[in-house]
Every structure is written in structure tokens, then in C-alpha cells.
Amino acid sequence: MKTPSVIPSSAWIFLIWLILMTLLPFSLILGMSFLQRTDLGNIVFAFSLKNYQQLLDWIYIKVLLKTLWLAFGATISCLMIGFPVAYFLARVQGPLKSIGLILLFIPFWTNFILRIYGIVSLFGSNGLFNQLLASVGAPQASILYTRLGVYIGLVYNYLPFLVVPIYSSLEKLDPFLREAASDLGATRFQTFRKVILPNIKEGVLIGSLFVFIPMLGEYVIPDLLGGAKEAFLGKVMVEQFFILQDWPLGSAIATVLSVLLLGALWLQNRWTSKNQQPQTQELGHAI
Amino acid sequence: MLLHLEAVTKSFEGFQLHPLTLSVERGEFFSLLGPSGCGKTTVLRLIGGFETPTSGRVILNDQDITRLPPHKRNVHTVFQRYALFPHLTVAENVAFPLHLKKLPSAEIAERVKESLKLVEIEDLQDRRTHQISGGQAQRTALARALVGKPELVLLDEPLSALDPELRMKMREELKTICKKVGITFLLVTHDQEEALQLSDRIAVFKSGQCLQVGTPKTIYEDPSDTFVARFIGAVNEIPGDIQGEASSETGEIVLSSPLGMFKLKKNGHALPKQVSVILRPEKMRLLRSKSTTQENLMEGEIQDLIYLGSRTEYAVKIGQSTFKVFEQELERLKKRRLNVGDRVFLAWRGDDAIVLPQST
């Protein structure tokens, strides 16, 4: 692929923004992860791998695995709920579609904290959910401040981010492909499996990574819905910075997390470019 | 008789297909011709199973398929925009219907190869659909529709997305391929030349109604309606009144029109008093001077001319009307070339004129 020789002027703004807001802070974090600190939390400028060695401790590995597992599960749940929703929205016409799309976008316009407190009031001990249980004589369910609470919060909060890319890849699909498949003898299920799914799997994968990656670093949701017991990677990281005053260790966690995310992005990129080789080539010619 | 539509109607908002009864013979190349919005695509979709008729029956091979879903009909379609599957290669696209039939892979490979060879794209078999040109995509779509050996292939404006030069070439090839495979084809088109060239029979549609069904020659030479006459080719029209009865020996009738009195031949149609006389531009002769002839004569002035090599198209002003006349360039060094402003005479024979009731 050819790279453009001259960077357009508008791209400079983005480049400067990227350097100032992303590359620079990230370098600082990376640098800090190799430093040490005094017991009072002052930074000692001496190179050390101690922070990373500390992370090899089973406690941290367990937190990492737990976080990966929870984020993975929440992503799968988002897919299971989000896919039919996206499919329905792409197929339906008329007022139902407009209403559906508005409902889909309302969460994007609603304050994040507000949405989380919505969950709190829904599942709290006196919340709607428990009132409902009580009214049918069922025992109280403690969802808030458990892992299930974090899980529900993650699914609830990230669902729209998965529905949108799947919906848009379904919308982009030529509607005649469905007719062509059916015309050539495919049942509805065969059409879905052999034509629709292969053509949108990239959108599904990208959407899944779009929710999985930020879920890993999530801090607010586990903090507000998980309570003190639930150790989540993002939460542990923030605690290192602001409660335990161990900036170097916090930085090491942040670095590990970033490397994981970059690895996932690289894999995804490689996977899609392998599947879409000709298209990238074509794009290269267009540029 | 392979396909039979029996009083089929379809209505949806802003459109109504009038009861349509139509039969297509096995092995025939049949075209539905008409301007956009005339209902021809609706008829195709009813046959393909993408729409269900409001009333009436669709019968394929003596079996009522009116309510059968598309995947259960032995009818395949070449879509206007081809609708090739972008995640598959050319060969995989062609193999798609065979895989659904769960045929053994050796047979699939063989039939795919055969189909690709038929449309002459064997060397493209491993290409992705976005790596081929419009004409190649067209061939792929055709191969995909033919490979399953359906009883009927529907062609939905298959050539309209190609550029004019390629369209001409593909038209020729389509004809050759259709003759070779011996399958029944049903073409939907708005291009009258395409319909004339490819079809055994044509049905002309206008606003949800089938006006005439016939061979290309019938449709062109003996249209049943002024709309059909105008749609299928260039026309000159002379409105007028029939004077008296037809002469019993010659069948001659006399037309009185603002351009003069003309002799016509009575044909089969029962005619009202007010008629429209239709003259094709190639059925009129351009005379450089008045001659004694048995033909009808009209005097006029050349308003415009277009030299096209093999023929010249003249616009001749007679009274308030302008007539189109096509003259074959028969002699290389014509004695007298005509120019704009020259006085000329148009000669035409009464039995070359199409006499139709005036359209409202």
C-alpha cells in the first residue's frame, strides 16, 4: 500500500492532538512504570523492573483473568442481545424503525453516571426489581455490589456500542443479496448463515472489540456497582494511583493493559486485512 | 406451455397491475417491455416469488406456484445490479445454488466449470466480485442463474447497468448463450431495441396494463395501440377522419386530414371515424421533385438533417407538423444533396401506414 507523501493540513491538527493527548501521556506512564517510589509515594528516578515482577503475583494475575473473563462474558451477552436488535432494526421499515433507532441513540445522549444510577435504583435493595420480587412473594435478590451487578452494568452500558456497528453493516448490505440467495434456493436460515453472516462478520468482530476493549479498563461501573469486594483491573489500577499512592505500580498495570489492547487490535487488523486483502489494495490505489 | 399467468393482479399503494393473462412457451425468449413504472418488474417479481399476487394464479409446468416461496421455485433470476455475493469468488458464486442442492463436489466442480466456460469467464474463477468489471459481473450472474438448470430464467434489466458499447456486445452474446442452453427466458426491459433483437415474443406494458403481445415484427409493423407504436420506434402521426366506406375491391379508404386527403388500406381493426395514421420514418421516401406516382404525396421543407453514414435522418416541416424521414445512403455520390430549407415531397404508400383509433 502506498503512503501519501504529503500530510494534508487538516491532518496536522489531529496529529498534534494525538501527540499531546495520547502519545505524550502514554510515554509518561510507560516511563513511570520502570521507576520506583518511596514509602511516602514520592517517585524515585531509578530504573527497575520491580513493578512488573510484582504484577506476576497470583493476586494480580487472578484479577486480570477475572477481568478478562467478565469482559468476555459481558461481550458475549451484548452480542446475544444486540444482534437480534440490530437485525430487527435493519429489517423493519416505517415508524417502528425510527422509534427503535431513537431508543438506540438515547443512551448516547444520556449522562453516563446518570445511567449507572438508573441501574442502582433499579436493582437496589428497595429498587423496582426487588419490589417486583416482593410483590410475587419471592425472596430478595442482592444484585447490587456483587459481580452480577458489575456484569449487568457492563452489558447495559455497552450494548448500544455493539448494536450500532452491527446495524450499520447490515444496512450496508445490498438488500438484493437476500433475494438472490432465496431465488437460488436458500431457505431463510441458509440465507442468513451463508450470505448475511459472512458479509457482516467483520462488523460483528469490530463491534465486539469496541465493547470488549473499553470494558477491560472500566473503572466507574465496577466501582459503583461492584462495591468494595469485587476486584476489577481498572479499579485496582486506579486504587494504585489514588489510594495507595503507588504511581509506578499503577503505571505498570496501565502498560500491561495497553499492551493487551494493542495486541487485540493488531490481531483484529491482521484478521480483517487477510480477509479483505483485495479491498485494501483497491483502497491503496484510490489513495 | 411452461408458464401461465391467469388473471394475475397486484395492487399496492400508487400502483395497480390490471388482470394479466399471459403464457410463455417452453424454450421461448419472452420480453416484458415498457417504460419505468409500467408494472413489468412487478410481473417478474410475481413469477420469481418475491411478491404474491393480490388475485389470480401463477402456473409453472402445470403446477400452481402462486404462493410458493422463491427458494422452492425452479426459477432463477439475473438481478439488475447482479447481486453477486461479495464474500465469495466468481466460481463460488456460481457454485452457490449447487451447494444448496447438496450435490457431490465433483459434480459441482464440473458444472461450475461448464457454466463459466459457457459465459467465457473461466479465467476469472478465483476473482472476488469487486475485482471484476460490470460485463464480467453480468456474465457471472448469468452463469449462476443457469448452472442449476432452472426451467425459467428471469432477466431483470440485465444490460441496463452496462455502458452502451458493452451493452450491444452483451446483447449479441446473450442471444447466442440463450440459443445454446435452450432454457426459457423472460426478460424485463425498457429498451425496445433490446426487446426486438432478443425476443421471440414481446408483451408491451403501460401503467400496469399489458397492451399487446406479439412477435417483434407484429409489435413493430402492426401495433394495436398508438402507445405501442410510439414506444417501439420512431413515428410520424397524422390525425384525421375516415371518409365513407372502404371500397369493396381494393379495400381502400380515404382519410381527410389537415394535411390533405390520403389513400389508406383498411386492415383488420374495426375503426372509428376519428383515426390516427402512423408512419414509420423508414417507410417514407423523400422526393427531390414532384413526380407522378400512385403514392400519397406531401410537400414540405427540410428543417433539419442528421447525416449518420449509413442513413440520413431528415426533419421535414409540413404545415404545422414535423415529419421524421430516414433515407438510406444507397449511392456513394448522390446526384443532388439536400440542404436545410429545400422544398421536398414525401411519398408513402397507403398499405405502409398503420391506422389506429385516436388515443385519448
A61-78 pLDDT tens trace: 999 999 999 999 999 999
**Alpha carbon distance A84, B190 (integer Å):** 40
Cβ contact A183–B70 (<8 Å): yes
Q: Cell numbers for B216, please give them.
A: 417483434
Chain B residues whose CB is inside 8 A of the A282 CB are 130-131
Phi and psi dihedrals of B7, rounded to 5? Answer: 45, 50
**Predicted confidence (pLDDT) at residue B292 exceeds the cutoff of 80:** no
Give the list of residues 6+ apart from residue A259 with CB closer than 8 angstroms, or none. none
Confidence band, pLDDT 50/70/90 cuts, at residue A283: very low
pLDDT surpasses 50 at A153? yes
Residue of chain A with shortest Cα separation from B96: A184
Given pLDDT bands bounded at 50, 70 and 90, which one contains residue B246? low
Q: What is the average pLDDT score of chain B?
A: 91
Range among A192-196, B12-16, B170-174 rated most confident: A192-196
- List CB contacts (< 8 A) between B70 and chain A: 179, 182-183
Is residue A134 pLDDT above 70, yes or no?
yes
* DSSP per position, A89-120: HHH--THHHHHHHHHHHHHHHS-HHHHHHHHH
* pLDDT(B92) > 90: yes
Q: Which residues from B are below 8 Å from A190, CB to CB?
A: 71, 100
Share of chain A above pLDDT 70, in %: 92
Asked if residue A274 has pLDDT above 70, the reply is no
Whether A20 maps to a domain, the answer reads no
Contact A232, A66 (CB under 8 A): yes
Exposed, middle or buried by CB within 10 Å (0-12, 13-18, 19+), for B180? exposed
Does A45 score more than 60 pLDDT? yes
Confidence tier at A275 by pLDDT (50, 70, 90):
low
pLDDT higher than threshold 50 for residue A287? no
Cell of A229: 469486594
pLDDT digits (tens, 9 = 90+) for B27-61: 999 999 999 989 999 999 999 999 999 999 999 99
pTM above 0.90, yes or no: no
CA nearest A205: which of A74, A71, A75, A70?
A75
Is A192 part of a structural domain of the chain? yes
Report the alpha-carbon distance of residue B337 to residue B331 in Å, rounded.
11
In a domain, A274, yes or no: yes
Q: Where are the domains of chain B?
A: 3-230, 234-357
Q: Write a three-state SS string for A222-244.
A: HHHHHCCCCCCHHHHHHHHHHCC
Residue A149 CA to residue A162 CA, distance in Å, equals 20
The mean-pLDDT minimum among A134-143, A198-207, A248-257, B242-251 falls in: B242-251
Nearest CA in chain B to A198: B87
| pLDDT in the model for residue A226 | 84
Interchain pair A278, B144: CB under 8 A:
no
Q: Minimal Cα–Cα distance from B105 to chain A, Å?
A: 17
Confidence class for position A181, pLDDT limits 50, 70, 90 = very high
Please tell me what DSSP assigns to residue B35. Answer: -
Give whole-number Cα distances, B211 to A220, B157, B219, B224, B273, in Å.
71, 20, 10, 8, 22
- CA torsion through residues A132, A136, A142, A143, sign: negative
- pLDDT band of A130, cuts 50, 70, 90: confident
Q: Provide the β-strand partners of residue B204.
A: B33, B212
C-alpha to C-alpha distances, A36 to A41, A51, A233, A247, B279, nearest whole angstrom: 9, 8, 21, 9, 100
In this prediction, what percent of chain A has a pLDDT beyond 90?
44
CATH number for region B3-230: 3.40.50.300
Chain B residues inside the 8 Å CB shell of A198: 85, 87
Instruction: Evaluate whether residue A206 is within a structural domain.
Output: yes
CB A164 within 8 A of CB A90: no
Residue range A189-204: mean pLDDT, rounded: 92
Q: What number is the average pLDDT over the span A29-49?
A: 88
- Chain B: nearest CA to A189, how far in angstroms? 12
E strands, chain B, where?
Answer: 3-12, 15-24, 29-33, 55-60, 63-64, 75-78, 152-156, 184-189, 201-206, 209-214, 236-243, 252-257, 260-265, 274-279, 285-287, 296-307, 311-318, 321-328, 343-348, 354-357
Q: Are B203 and B33 in contact (CB under 8 A)?
A: yes
CATH number of B234-357: 2.40.50.100
For residue B78, what is the nearest residue in chain A, using CA coordinates?
A: A180
Pick the closest to residue B226 from B285, B283, B269 (CA basis): B269
* Residue of B87, B88, B157 to mutate for A, most A C-beta atoms under 10 A: B87
CATH of the domain at A76: 1.10.3720.10
CA of A118 vs chain B CAs: smallest distance (Å) = 42
Q: How far is it, in rounded angstroms, from Cα A268 to Cα A282? A: 20
Contacts of A224 (CB under 8 A, 6+ apart): A116, A117, A120, A153
pLDDT at B27: 92
Contacts of residue B76 in chain A, CB cutoff 8 Å? 183-184
Q: What pLDDT does A278 receive?
A: 44
In whole angstroms, what is the distance from residue B229 CA to residue B269 CA? 15
Q: Give A13-22 pLDDT, tens digit per residue.
A: 899 999 999 9
pLDDT in tens, B201-226: 999 999 999 999 999 999 999 999 89
Q: Which residues of B touch A180 (CB under 8 A)?
A: 77, 79, 83-85
Q: Is residue B17 within 8 Å of B10, Cβ to Cβ?
A: yes
Separation of CA A195 from chain center: 27
Judge: A180–B79 Cβ closer than 8 Å, yes or no: yes
Residue pLDDT, tens place only, A228-256: 777 888 888 888 888 888 899 999 999 99
pLDDT band at A281 (very low <50, low <70, confident <90, very high): very low
What is the total count of domains within chain A?
1
Query: Is the CB of residue A269 less than 8 Å away from at least one CB of chain B?
Result: no
Write out the residue range of the structural domain in which residue A238 sits.
Answer: 59-286
Q: How far is CA B53 from CA B59, B72, B210, B293, in A?
A: 12, 17, 16, 56
Q: Is residue A42 part of a domain?
A: no
pLDDT at A190: 96
If you measure CA to CA, which chain A residue comes closest to B80? A176
For chains A and B, count residue pairs whose Cβ atoms are closer than 8 Å. Answer: 67
Mean residue pLDDT across chain A: 86
Establish if A186 touches chain B: CB-CB under 8 angstroms. Answer: yes
Residues 6+ apart with CB under 8 A from B199: B29, B30, B31, B187, B215, B216
How close are the terminal C-alpha atoms of chain A, in Å?
9
Quick check: B17 and B208 in contact, CB under 8 A? yes
Q: By the 8 A CB rule, do B279 and B226 touch?
A: no
* Shortest CA distance from B87: residue in chain A: A199
| pLDDT higher than threshold 70 for residue A276 | no
Is A41 within a domain?
no
Q: How many CB atoms lie within 10 A of CB B248?
A: 7
Mean pLDDT of A171-186: 93
pLDDT at B307 over 80: yes
What pLDDT, on a 0 to 100 scale, did the predictor assign at position A284? 34
Coil, helix or strand for B219?
helix
Is the pLDDT at B233 greater than 60, yes or no? yes
Is residue B166 pLDDT above 50, yes or no?
Answer: yes
Task: Tell me which residue of B47, B138, A94, B167 sits closest to B39, measured CA to CA.
Answer: B47
Residue A280's pLDDT band (cuts 50, 70, 90):
very low
The pLDDT, as a whole number, for residue B291 is 79
User: In terms of DSSP bridges, do strands B29-33 and B184-189 run parallel, antiparallel, or are they unpaired?
Assistant: parallel
What's the confidence (pLDDT) of residue A200?
Answer: 92
Q: What is the mean pLDDT of residues A27-31?
A: 93
Chain B: closest CA distance from residue A83 (Å): 20
